[in-house]
A and B are shown apart, each in its own frame.
Chain A
Amino acid sequence: MSFTEGIRRKEDIILEVRNLKVWFPVRVGLTSIFTGSKKYLRAVDGVSFNLHKGEVLSIVGESGSGKTTLGLTIVGVYKPTEGEILFKGVDVHSTDKKTSLLLKRKIQMIFQDPFESLPPHMTVFDIVKEGIDIHKLANSPSEKIKLILTALENVGLTPPEDFFKKYPHQLSGGQRQRVSIASVLTLKPELIVADEPISMIDASLRGSILKLMMKLKRDFDLTYIFILHDLAIARCISTHIAVMYLGQVVEAGKINNVMKEPLHPYTKALLSVAPSLRKMSRREKIILKGEIPSPIDLPSGCRFSPRCPFAFNDCRKNEPVLIETKQEHYVRCLMYQKPNDLTNKIS
């Protein structure tokens, strides 16, 4: 999949993900040791996309669809089994120490649970300081304090001096998430992967965190990848969206294209259960049966076929490929696939 058509310029590409696979070996019984057969948990299984500077990509899908693994691989936590991730043309998993350290600064991550992601024994000052120390961003102690002050001010923790000596447990959920944003911000990143940054925060305060993140995007020229399961929020903040299911992208494209005219049955189902306050305006709900299958023993054919309300026989036999139905709208479903797409894949 590539979004690079029309207005999107090639030189603006900030992140390129090429046929990324992240498989984890699974321990199985004795027999497999003798027979030598190995099993893998295919968390991410062939994901490709290009992200341009200034874009906001939302990756949505159920728990277990591989969103978080994808995010963690982009920031360099997991090594890809196959494929590569290029940040401005440089391999994220480069073994060169200097490049690796630089990339670790340029690509940052914000985690889901601010109650667990902040070290409980460190003060806000120390938490924000840590990154500055590691990357040697300050020449003098006074410069360091200045950096921390501005970072806290930028995330709306004012007056910042009041927060210096506070420990995470003295802060509310929203404030903690602001601290983690501040600690990321001091490193002057270019790409931020935010893994469900608001799901642990009260519904009434979610908007304030997202608004802050959008403001920082404008101020510091950031590019975002949001990992979400709430499509209503994805719609408000992103320029592009990728819907993931069992390690694969099943639908992707410009946010408006996908939201106005969802093609994949999975996207349709997700949209039908998405938040809508007034029950009268609720459309017919498609409630998917069961839960996402195990990424170890994948269903044959289309991975969504066992839960798909529209599945026909072919779906259980042939695996669909991601095709572009119109500009900046991609779908992986046999219903939209012309017969020759399939032969192309096989040949």
Chain B
Amino acid sequence: MRTANNLLEIEDLQIHYLTDRGVIKAVDGVSLEVNQNESLAIVGESGCGKSTLAHGIFGMLPSNAKIVNGQVIFKGIDLTKSQESLLREIWFKEISIIFQASMNMLNPVMNIEKQIADVIMLHNRKISKNEALYEARKLLELTGIPKSRGKDYPHQLSGGQKQRVCIAMAIALKPTLIIADEPFTALDIVVQNQLIDLLSKLRQEIKSSLIFITHDINVVGELCDKIAVMYAGQIVEYGKLDKILNLPAHPYTRMLFDAVPTINGDITELKYIPGEPPNMANPPPGCKFHPRCPYTNLECKKKEPRLIKIEEEHYLACHLQKV
């Protein structure tokens, strides 16, 4: 399904960690596409490989991780086989990333406007320092931090403000793809909503695509067009967000949605998914979700389901529902 529209294509990506306990298949055959100006949510529990996938796309895997198979094609270039020098050109200019704890990754001994200006100057050698600082201040204002705070150091800012600085940095060079890895998890609900609004507004302004990784599906509804549900390193359901929100087909997706209490409607009993995600060094045979699935049958225990198309823009990996 290669179309000119596809900005990012991931094909059968497998990332393994080599550890003392054996090989951990953190990402186990993931295929995804992100089109221009589209936003994709990747949801799943901790330890299902979401962050590894994000770092794999960005090309920033830890040293014990290895891309065993598959490719990540961004604008026609396979990032998995690219030299670091090329990746450095792409980072921030084409693909930028907002980390989960990126607010703790700001340089504590450099004021924030200089940190943003650094990103600008790194990719644009012709720009003068003053121009870059001016740009940086403009970006700060755009993200809702008054210009006068530009000389502040990270410790003078609140968590929400620091995350705003990170957003400013991420959009500084108007990248075509932003990867956000649980960016709002540590923040409280009011600040979370402010930042969701900010991110979706800015993204539309600079017309970039977004990959939004989270375990909290509440925030997905407002930001994303597509959703990919990950479990144990694989995608179990993938497609248009509206379709999946209305009619989740995979038992895991359904249980994930049910686990989140909502503010409207009747008060229901708290639900959760029994058990815990499998140990990825020794995953169960067959469908990896079968030990926790209430509908398991014999087939699930033996055969691994494949991701198949069940309707237009809706893919599913489950034995229970076949076309």
Chain A contacts to B: CB under 8 angstroms: 62-63, 172-174, 202-208, 210-211, 229-233, 235-237, 259, 269-271, 273-279, 281-283, 285, 287-288, 291
Take A276-B218, A281-B264 as given contacts and tell me if A204 and B189 are in contact as well, using a CB distance cutoff of 8 Å. Answer: no
Give CA–CA (A278, B243) in the complex, Å. Answer: 11
B263→A204 contact, CB < 8 A: no
| 24 A-B pairs in the complex with CB atoms less than 8 angstroms apart | A63-B187, A172-B276, A202-B45, A203-B45, A204-B215, A204-B259, A204-B273, A206-B259, A207-B272, A232-B262, A269-B190, A273-B192, A273-B193, A275-B218, A275-B261, A275-B263, A276-B262, A278-B245, A279-B221, A281-B262, A282-B222, A287-B193, A287-B194, A288-B194
3 closest A-B pairs by CB: A207-B272, A279-B221, A275-B218
A291→B158 contact, CB < 8 A: yes
Give CA–CA (A288, B197) in the complex, Å. Answer: 12
Chain A residues, CB < 8 A from B193: 273, 285, 287
Chain B, residues 174-212, CB within 8 Å of chain A (1/0): the string is 000000000000011111111001000000000000000
Chain B residues, CB < 8 A from A62: 188-191
Give CA–CA (A287, B267) in the complex, Å. Answer: 25
Give CA–CA (A229, B193) in the complex, Å. Answer: 13
Chain A residues, CB < 8 A from B217: 203, 277
Give CA–CA (A110, B193) in the complex, Å. Answer: 27
> Which secondary structure dominates chain A's binding surface?
helix
Give CA–CA (A276, B217) in the complex, Å. Answer: 9
Q: Contact partner of B262 among A174, A206, A277, CB < 8 A?
A: A277
Q: Contact partner of A271 among B192, B246, B263, CB < 8 A?
A: B263
Give CA–CA (A229, B46) in the complex, Å. Answer: 21
B221→A203 contact, CB < 8 A: no
Closest A residue to B194 using CB positions: A287
Give CA–CA (A278, B159) in the complex, Å. Answer: 28
Chain B residues, CB < 8 A from A291: 158, 160-161, 191
A273→B190 contact, CB < 8 A: yes
Chain B, residues 220-260, CB within 8 Å of chain A (1/0): the string is 01100000000000000000000001100000000111011
Chain A residues, CB < 8 A from B246: 278
Take A173-B46, A204-B255, A291-B158 as given contacts and tell me if A270 and B260 are in contact as well, using a CB distance cutoff of 8 Å. Answer: no
Closest B residue to A60 using CB positions: B189
Give CA–CA (A279, B216) in the complex, Å. Answer: 14
Give CA–CA (A307, B45) in the complex, Å. Answer: 35
Whole-angstrom distance from the CB of A159 to the nearest CB of chain B?
16
Chain B residues, CB < 8 A from A273: 189-190, 192-193
Whole-angstrom distance from the CB of B219 to the nearest CB of chain A?
8
B263→A229 contact, CB < 8 A: no
Closest B residue to A274 using CB positions: B263
Whole-angstrom distance from the CB of A308 to the nearest CB of chain B?
13
Q: Contact partner of B261 among A173, A229, A236, A283, CB < 8 A?
A: A236
- Interface flag for B274 (CB, 8 Å): yes
Q: Contact partner of A203 among B190, B194, B260, B276, CB < 8 A?
A: B260
Give CA–CA (A245, B194) in the complex, Å. Answer: 18
Give CA–CA (A285, B269) in the complex, Å. Answer: 26
B263→A210 contact, CB < 8 A: no
Q: Contact partner of B270 among A172, A211, A276, CB < 8 A?
A: A211
Q: Could you say which of B194, B217, B221, B263 has the most chain A C-beta atoms within 10 Å of its C-beta?
A: B263
